[in-house]
Amino acid sequence: MPNQTLPSGQLVIQIVAMPADTNANGDIFGGWLVSHMDMGAGIAARRRARSRVVTVAINSLVFIKPVAVGDTVCCYADLQKVGRTSMQFKMEAWTLALSDEKPKKVAEGLFTFVAISETGKPQAVDR
């Protein structure tokens, strides 16, 4: 992975990692982080499609560094591709610690969403 110093994409979620979100090792549970990345991608997809959306795939996901209790987790969405009914977003999760001014990239992945109608059927993103 290239040595990236700043996040790419639009900030869609910020949340503080709490003690209740830890795994048995005391780090933040990976599933907690994935859920926030998915929520952030969903916010960006909804905004782009101007409709309901559903996650259809997490095409890739890499955990780069552990997240510590007290870190502010920032999720960024960067639209990569738009199909007829689908959208792919590169998601990055970065942390800000009180003890360090420099943000750290902790995870990245590719999330695919499909725009759906009120009845739950796929619909065109650009209507």
pLDDT tens sequence for the chain (127 residues): 556 889 999 999 999 999 999 999 999 999 999 999 999 999 999 999 999 999 999 999 999 999 999 999 999 999 999 999 999 999 999 999 988 889 999 999 999 999 999 999 999 999 7
SS3 125: coil
Q: Is 80 exposed, middle or buried (0-12, 13-18, 19+ CB in 10 A)?
A: middle
- What is the maximum span of the chain, computed from C-alpha positions, in angstroms? 48
- Please give the pLDDT value at position 36: 98
Distance between CA atoms of 25 and 37, rounded to whole angstroms?
Answer: 22
Which letter does DSSP use for residue 34 in this model?
H
Q: Which residues contact 96 (CB under 8 A, 6 or more apart)?
A: 71, 72, 74, 103
Alpha-helix runs per DSSP H in 17-122:
30-49
- Please give the pLDDT value at position 4: 81
Sign of CA dihedral 64, 88, 16, 96: positive
| Strand partners for 108 | 62, 92
- Please give the pLDDT value at position 29: 96
